[in-house]
Amino acid sequence: MTIMYRYTQAGEAYEGEFQRTADMAGSHEVVRAVVQQIANDTGETVCFSMLSPTGTAVVGTNHAEPKGVDNTGLRTVETVDISEDSGESWNSIHVRS
């Protein structure tokens, strides 16, 4: 299954696709994999929080370090959205600065 994602970085919009693998059993694994891909693409650490299904409460925090890059301290990724249904609906990930 193809996961679509989009993000903004320093005011610029980017899009991508990610192939869901068998080890991504739930939504949290998908979020971690997509944010890791974005961290690798941007060369920045991306700090994020997962929200409750209602979008009103933080239920966990995490971060993704870019592979092969020292932490630069930059945090220019502003938004991340993920779609698991070919762009019909989008879920926003709470990005922390």
Q: pLDDT digit string (tens) for 63-97?
A: 899 998 877 778 899 999 999 998 999 988 889 87
Q: How many domains does the chain have?
A: 1
Which pLDDT band, with edges at 50, 70 and 90, does 55 fall under?
Answer: low
Average pLDDT, whole number, for the chain?
A: 88
Q: Domain of residue 78: give its range.
A: 2-96
Please give the pLDDT value at position 36: 94
pLDDT in tens, 12-54: 999 999 888 888 888 888 889 999 999 999 999 999 987 666 6
CA separation for the pair 3, 1 (Å, rounded): 7
**Model confidence band, residue 9 (pLDDT cutoffs 50, 70, 90):** very high
37-65 residues labelled b (16+ CB within 10 A) or e (exposed) = bbbbebebbbbbebbeeeeeeeeeebebe
